[in-house]
Each structure stands twice: as C-alpha cells, then as structure tokens.
Chains A and B, each alone.
Chain A
Amino acid sequence: MADDDAVVLTRVLAGDESAFGVLVRRYEPKLRAYVAGIVGLEEDARDVVQESFVKAWRHLGQYDRSFRFSTWLFRIAHNLAIDHLRRRRQTTSSLDLGEDSEGNEVRLDPADARRGPLGELANRELAAALAREIRRLPPAYKELIHLRHFVGLAYQEIAELKGLPLGTVKNKLFRAHNVLRSALGSYLGQLGGLT
C-alpha cells in the first residue's frame, strides 16, 4: 500500500492531478471513520475529512517521503479534528457504542450511521454483545480496536500513527481479541457449536 501511495504521489507531483483521486478514494472512508471517532458527528467528520485532503493537497510539496503518506494524512486529520472540537467546545467519546436493551439499534461506526456495521451482522444479539464488550475494554485496547477494525488501518499504520512499536500494537490487539472472545463465548457458541 505504501509503495502504491508513493507511485501515485509521484504522478500527482508530476502534474497528474487526477491521480490524487486515487488517494482520496483509498483513504476517505478510513479517514472519515477515524475523524468521526474524534468529533462524534457524521457531518462534522465529512467536513473535517474534506479539509484534511485540501490541507494535504496544499502542502504536498513539503511532504516528507520518509513517512508513510497515510500516517501524514491521518496526523493532519487528527490535528484538524482536535481543532474542530476546540472550536465547538464539545466533548465526545471516541466510540459511539449506543445500544438499547433490546439490541434494536446499535451504532459502532459513527462514520456511517446509515449503514451501522454491526447492524449488518447476521446475529443482532451478537452484534449488541460485541458493541457492549468493546465498550468495556480498557481505553488503550478500545482505541486500538477502533483503529484496526472500524477505521481499517494496518498494524504498521497504527504503530506509526500512535508512535508505538509494531510488536506492542500486535500484542495489545491480540490480547484485546482474547478478551472479546472470552466475553462473547456464549454468543459465539450459539453460532455453530463453537463451545
């Protein structure tokens, strides 16, 4: 992916502005999920993401290629999202894990409220349980789960973004998955005799 980005950036800097659309197409959904996790509101996230791409575009000539483009882009978006929050003076949780006791409405992906990724899961009860257990995770685990599964970042991208060693990211996510598996044991058992 990083190599692909470098090739695309070379094209952009050589004058093929349409090639930037490849990067927008590649990172917009992830960036929106990431920003939505910070600002909370879908429409605000869209605005911040657009602002992020424009800012990246303006400063593309100063982009240091020793870093991944995705890392640079996510840092821009992070800073803009924080600025946006300051302007709005609004506090949000990093994840919108709203659910009701009936499991009728579960939103784990603030970036796409219409879709509601957990709502697409075949077993809504399992979806509700997964949302609940993710919410119960320690903050450090919850953030990594968010970055890995809701934003869709690779381990290496998470490591660079958070300034953590790659091994630490892998181990924390492994432990977080273990916690989720243990907590969801009974639900998973209903899906095909897992236990």
Chain B
Amino acid sequence: MTGQCEIVRRALEGEGELAEIGAHSKSCAVCRAHAKVLQLLAELEPGAPDPETLREIMTALPSAPWQRRRLATWLPLAAGLGFVVAGLGLLGGMPAAGAVALVPGAASSVFAYLAAWFLDALTAVRGTSHALEIAVVVQGAGLLLWLGVVAVSSGWAAIALARGPRRGTRS
C-alpha cells in the first residue's frame, strides 16, 4: 500500500476530501475494493421505522413531568389566590389590623377616583357639573369593581387549577 493509497482510503471513509479519488481508484484495484467494502457496509444501516412502532411509542408516553411546575401554570393561580385573600380582607373576613388590611380599601379609592375623574370630565364636556355627587356614588362603585376583580381572578385561578399542567399536541 502506497502513501497515496492510505490517503485515498481515508478520504473514502470520510476523513477529508481528495479530488484524485476517482483517478486513483481507476488504476488501483485495492482501493476500488476498499470502496466496495464501504459501499456494502453502508447498505446495512437501519432504514426508516415503521409507523405502527412510532405510534405505539408516542402513545406510551405519560404526561410531561417537566411541565408540571411551570411558572405559566402556577403564576395565574398564585395571583388569583392573592386577590382572593385580599378580597376576604376587604369583606372583613380576614382579621388584619396592619397595612395589608388597608390595601383593598385603598385600591377601591383609587378606582373610584379614576372613575370620578373620567365621569367629571365627561359631564363637563356635556355642560353640567355633578362631579361631587358622582364621586360619592362611584366610591361605592369602586368597591363593586374591586369585588369584580376578585371574582374574575378567582375564576382565573380555578380554571388554571382545573387545566392542570400545560399540555401540547401529540400525534
């Protein structure tokens, strides 16, 4: 075996490229035989899997365990529960004398202020001025609005809990 033969045979095995492979192989029976052995062996590689086997494997897979603790699953739930707790505090169901107990009331006032400001601007445009009355009424509406937020958030949490881990499609 010449040095050129070894280079050609290694090139045949995928170790580098050699433009002279064809020309050399024409004149070297041993390198042609080497190429033939590689060709025969290459024909032995496994083919495509049959669809039935694939289907069996895919249907045998359990639910994806790594998705059970995804933030996307637990964040809505945690947020919803947070609103529920706050709502309970607002309704007096939670005996909290600290700053936390003031949060729902403060939020209600903020809602009321914003709504009053909007309606005040609206009535000013229309040429009447009942902003003070509206503010008093809307203060109560702010409380209702807050309770609505709590209800929606609770529903959101319940849905997130019922859906369980996020699931994708599986063929």
Q: Does A91 contact B (CB under 8 A)?
A: no
- B38: chain A residues within 8 A (beta carbon): 177
B54, A28: Cβ atoms under 8 Å? yes
Q: Mark B156-171, 1 if CB is under 8 A from A, else 0.
A: 0000000000111111
Instruction: Please report the total number of A residues contacting B with Cβ < 8 Å.
Output: 56
A185, B33: Cβ atoms under 8 Å? yes
Expressed in whole angstroms, the Cα–Cα distance for A126 and B36 within the complex equals 11
Expressed in whole angstroms, the Cα–Cα distance for A195 and B67 within the complex equals 62
A188, B37: Cβ atoms under 8 Å? yes
Least distance between B64 CB and chain A CB atoms (Å): 6
Q: Mark B102-124, 1 if CB is under 8 A from A, else 0.
A: 00000000000000000000000
Q: Does A83 contact B (CB under 8 A)?
A: no
Select which of B47, B57, B58, B66 is within 8 A of A29 by beta carbon: B47
- A2: chain B residues within 8 A (beta carbon): none
- B61: chain A residues within 8 A (beta carbon): 17, 20, 53-54, 57
Instruction: Please report the total number of B residues contacting A with Cβ < 8 Å.
Output: 41
Q: Mark A160-195, 1 if CB is under 8 A from B, else 0.
A: 000000000010011001101100110011010111
Select which of A17, A25, A174 is within 8 A of B54 by beta carbon: A25
A50, B46: Cβ atoms under 8 Å? no
From 1 to 56 in chain B, residues with beta carbon under 8 angstroms from any chain A beta carbon are 9-10, 13-15, 29-30, 32-34, 36-38, 40-49, 53-54, 56
From 1 to 56 in chain A, residues with beta carbon under 8 angstroms from any chain B beta carbon are 13, 15-18, 20-21, 24-25, 28-30, 32-33, 46, 49-50, 53-54
A195, B13: Cβ atoms under 8 Å? no
- B65: chain A residues within 8 A (beta carbon): 58, 61
Expressed in whole angstroms, the Cα–Cα distance for A188 and B25 within the complex equals 14
- A18: chain B residues within 8 A (beta carbon): 168-171
Residue in chain A with minimal CB distance to B37: A181
Q: Does B132 contact A (CB under 8 A)?
A: no
Q: Name A residues whose Cβ lies closer than 8 Å to a Cβ of B.
A: 13, 15-18, 20-21, 24-25, 28-30, 32-33, 46, 49-50, 53-54, 57-58, 60-61, 108-109, 111-112, 115, 117-118, 120-121, 126, 130, 145, 148-152, 155, 170, 173-174, 177-178, 180-181, 184-185, 188-189, 191, 193-195
Q: Name B residues whose Cβ lies closer than 8 Å to a Cβ of A.
A: 9-10, 13-15, 29-30, 32-34, 36-38, 40-49, 53-54, 56-58, 60-62, 64-67, 166-171
Could you name 18 residue pairs across A and B whose Cβ atoms are closer than 8 Å?
Answer: A13-B66, A15-B166, A21-B170, A24-B49, A25-B49, A28-B53, A57-B61, A57-B62, A60-B64, A112-B46, A121-B40, A121-B43, A150-B44, A151-B46, A152-B45, A174-B13, A177-B9, A194-B36
